[in-house]
Structure 1
Amino acid sequence: MQPNSPVIERTHGRSIEINKVLKNTYMLLGATISFSALVAYFAAVMNLPHPGFIITLVGFYGLLFVIHKTQNSASSIFWVFALTGFMGYTLGPIVGMLSNTAPQILVQALAGTGLIFFGLSAWVLLSKKDFSFLSGAIAAGFWVLIIAVIASLIFDISGLSLAISAGFMIFSSMIILYQTSEIVRGGETNYVMATVTLFVSLYNIFVSLLNLLMAFGGDD
């Protein structure tokens, strides 16, 4: 048994490290979701205007770039909250409008987002299945969605916005499966980047659900 002890120790150590990354990811994710929701709430109460498409893109990708560059330093936590707070701010006008006109849609979108996330996460955590095979589909899906979004800005195609929302839901669900699998299997060791990936996926699912619910039952 003695020759196997280093192997056992390495396996045990790897398991501890994986559990640490998983724990830190979910702790930071919970904190950022709470912070983002708080910012969205105050933006809605104060009736703050939406920053606009260009500022939203620049803010999102700019902060994402900074997080990527600082992911291994303590300052990355600050930038993660800056990004998630900014994304919460972009939701403020939508939350404000729906809270007055159709609060049930907000509740349904929140519940749906939570069910999707916990369902997908539980699937990975309990099955320990390797979802790395989704990487190709995720890459392809990214470009398909980018092209579809650009097309929606140029052409007035009936039903395209709904198709994009449905596409983002599927795309983001695949990312949740892939990212969680990477953590569980030890492929992702940086909980900051894992948190950002999961948060953006949840944001996309929530916004997509809002769009679909407003289209199919907003005024009922």
Structure 2
Amino acid sequence: MNTIHSIDQNKGMSSQASLVLSTNKMIRNTYMLLSMTLLFSALTAAAAVAMKLPHPGIIITLIGYFGLLFLTSKFRDSALGLAFVFGLTGFMGYTLGPIVSHYLGLPNGGQIVMTAMGLTGAIFLGLSGYALTSRKDFSFMGGFLMVGMVVGFLAGLGAMFFEIPALSLTVSAVFVLLMSGLILYETSNIIHGGETNYIMATVTLFVSIFNLFTSLLHLLGFMNSDD
């Protein structure tokens, strides 16, 4: 009986060690790919700013984003998925370029952009670091975040089409909170095995960082204009 118990205990320890190694590999691959896509996106945004490219417009942006997101998801288990994730993040970088150009043209524009970038980095590192070290399970936030993002997206479209500045600012403030929650949620998902594909984990974290940055830009630009 003791021998059987010892065998079962060894199997349990081996299984746990394997799970830890798998999780660590998932974290390493996700953050490595995230770093690469952020750099690639920053380069495409910088190129768009340097060449003074116009914004493609809401229709092309939505088609490009959801089309590339669909392809990334469809091929997430193959090498082609890597090509599409760079296509998606590069396209998002291109759409970001004209937005950054707009804010750079404001009084203290450079300071606004750098402050938004610094806050984005601090929020992401702080929240992901907390989730990684505390290892708390934030999966309970999934439903709330999904509903919040759908409502926020629709409200953002409404604010854009009907030109309602107050609603647009409210949406930006709400998105700062939602994207912060999404960072906690997705990092927790990676740790606890809720997400096992590093390409899709990268996309989720990238989108949260992108939306966090643009929302902070909007809020900081508004406060600057008030000054």
TM range (shorter): over 0.9
TM-score w.r.t. length of structure 1: 0.95
Amino acid at match of 2:136: K
1:192 aligns with 2:199: yes
Aligned partner of 1:86 among 73, 78, 91: 91
TM-score w.r.t. length of structure 2: 0.93
Structure with larger Rg: 2
Whole-Å Cα distance in 2 between the matches of residues 155 and 118 of structure 1? Answer: 36
Aligned partner of 1:169 among 168, 176, 201: 176
2:3 is matched with: none
Q: Secondary structure at the match of 1:82?
A: helix
Kept in 2: contact 1:105–1:218 (CA 8 A) = no
- Listed as ranges, the gaps of 5+ residues in structure 2 are 1-5
- CA gap of 1:86–1:133, structure 2 versus 1, over 3 A, is same
Amino acid at match of 1:142: M
Whole-Å Cα distance in 2 between the matches of residues 38 and 85 of structure 1? Answer: 8
Query: Which of structure 1's runs of 4+ aligned residues deviate more than 2 A?
Result: 94-101, 153-158
CA drift at 1:170 = 1.1
Aligned partner of 2:214 among 200, 207, 220: 207
CA drift at 1:145 = 0.9
1:121 is matched with: 128
Kept in 2: contact 1:120–1:173 (CA 8 A) = yes
Amino acid at match of 2:14: E
Q: Deviations over 1:40-75 (max 9, x none)?
A: 001100111111110000000000000010000011
CA drift at 1:208 = 0.2
Whole-Å Cα distance in 1 between the matches of residues 157 and 98 of structure 2? Answer: 23
1:110 aligns with 2:117: yes
Q: Secondary structure at the match of 1:159?
A: helix
Amino acid at match of 1:179: E
- Listed as ranges, the gaps of 5+ residues in structure 1 are none
Amino acid at match of 2:182: I
Amino acid at match of 2:87: A
Whole-Å Cα distance in 2 between the matches of residues 121 and 84 of structure 1? Answer: 20
Kept in 2: contact 1:145–1:164 (CA 8 A) = yes
Amino acid at match of 1:135: G
CA drift at 1:218 = 4.3
